[in-house]
Amino acid sequence: MILHAIVPDAATAAWAARNGASVIQLRLKGVATAERIRVGSEVVAAVEDMAIIVMNDDVEAARALGVAVHLGQGDPGVELARRARIAFGRSAGSVEEARRAEADGARYIGAGAIWETPSKSDAGPAIGLDGLGAICRAVSIPVVAIGGVDSTNAASCIAAGAAGVAVIRAVTELPLLRAVVERAIATAAGALRSGALG
């Protein structure tokens, strides 16, 4: 199960890791790489081995910290990440973007925005559950749904084929969200088994 908590600092990262996040993504917009490294060092120390740590947008900071990196469609760094052998995820808002990201070597896709969200002003138009499902069917790597996801709709993302969800505003709902996602994954697995046996 993949539950990404997108956080701005070490205190939130540690809380998220203790409360169900399997991946902590540090997102610091508009700051220099040195500041990302400074805050990232605090996050690494606070999270320890409770969760995987991913740096948002900055391959150099990820390399300095020894963590993975997430790259948006407009972010440079795929070649640098590959040369440095840094695991990376990629944002995708369409099947074509997702297929290209997989071909480039991405380990996962952050698909969305699923719904309109105020947390990411640079997100493209909402793709909805149909768009999410199309992306999930188009690639073989895990797809994580992002954009307007919370405990009321996370199960729908799993039902559409997502391996997990990513949250920004709903980080405070992590204990409930983890339970919802685990239930949805169990339901989806049961449906697959029933289909295979039927």
Predicted confidence pLDDT, tens digits, the chain (198 residues):
689 999 999 999 999 999 999 999 999 999 999 999 999 999 999 999 999 999 999 999 999 999 999 999 888 899 999 999 999 999 999 999 999 999 999 999 999 999 998 765 666 789 999 999 999 999 999 999 999 999 999 999 999 999 999 999 999 999 999 999 999 989 887 775 665 544
Q: Given this model, what pLDDT does residue 197 score? A: 47
Tell me which of 3.90.70.10, 3.55.10.10, 3.40.50.150, 3.20.20.70 is the CATH number of domain 2-197. 3.20.20.70
* Residue 149 · residue 165 · CB < 8 Å: yes
* H helix and E strand count, the chain: 8, 8
* Residue 118 · residue 144 · CB < 8 Å: no
Q: Given this model, what pLDDT does residue 189 score? A: 78
The residues with which 2 forms a beta bridge, in sequence order, are: 164
d(CA 78, CA 69): 10
Query: Phi/psi at 99 (nearest 5 deg)?
Result: -65, -40
Domain ranges of the chain: 2-197
The secondary structure of residue 141, as a DSSP letter, is S
| Joined tokens for residue 1 | 């199960």
Q: Given this model, what pLDDT does residue 135 score? A: 98
d(CA 125, CA 106): 22
Whole-prediction pTM: 0.92
Q: Which of 44, 54, 166 is nearest to 107 (CA)?
A: 54
For 32, 103, 164, the CA distances from 155, given in Å and listed in that order, are 37, 28, 9
d(CA 14, CA 73): 28
